[in-house]
Amino acid sequence: MSDLQKEKIEVAGATVDFYKYNEGDVEVYEFDTSRCGPPEPMVNAMAGLKMIDGANKKLVMINHKKPMGLLNKIGENYNISDETLEDGRVKLIFTYKEGASEKANLNDSACHG
C-alpha cells in the first residue's frame, strides 16, 4: 500500500473519524465502523455518501460484516464493490452512479436489517 496522505475531516452527522485522501484524481473518503454496532454503520455511511456527488469521488467503508440493511436501502443508487480483508473485516467501495445517486434518500439512516 502506498503512503497515502490521509487527512482527518469533519463530516456532519458522523459518529466515527473520517479521512480524506487522493488516489490519482479521485477524492477518497474513508471511515471504519468495524467496532460499532447498529445503527452506527448506517448513520456514518449515509453521512459519507452525501459527499459522493460526482465520478471523481468515492467512499470507502470498513465494517465487521457486509451491511445488508444499508445495501438494500441504497444499493441501486451507487456502484458498490466489496472485498474481505485478511482480518475478516469487509471493505466496501461506493462510487457515483450517474442518474441514480442523486435519487438516494440519504436522510433515512434507520436500520431495518
Rounded mean pLDDT of 22-48?
96
Residue 113 has pLDDT above 90, yes or no: no
Pairing of β 78-84 and β 26-32: unpaired
Say if 1 falls within a structural domain.
no
In a domain, 107, yes or no: no
**CATH code at 93?**
3.30.110.40
Q: Give the three-state DSSP class for 70.
A: helix
Q: Are 45 and 70 in contact (CB under 8 A)?
A: yes
* pLDDT mean over 31-45: 96
> Tell me: the pLDDT tens digits for 65-79?
999 999 999 999 999
Domain ranges, residue 48: 7-102
Is 110 within a domain? no
Is 75 inside any structural domain?
yes
d(CA 84, CA 82): 7
Question: pLDDT class for 112, splitting at 50, 70, 90?
Answer: low
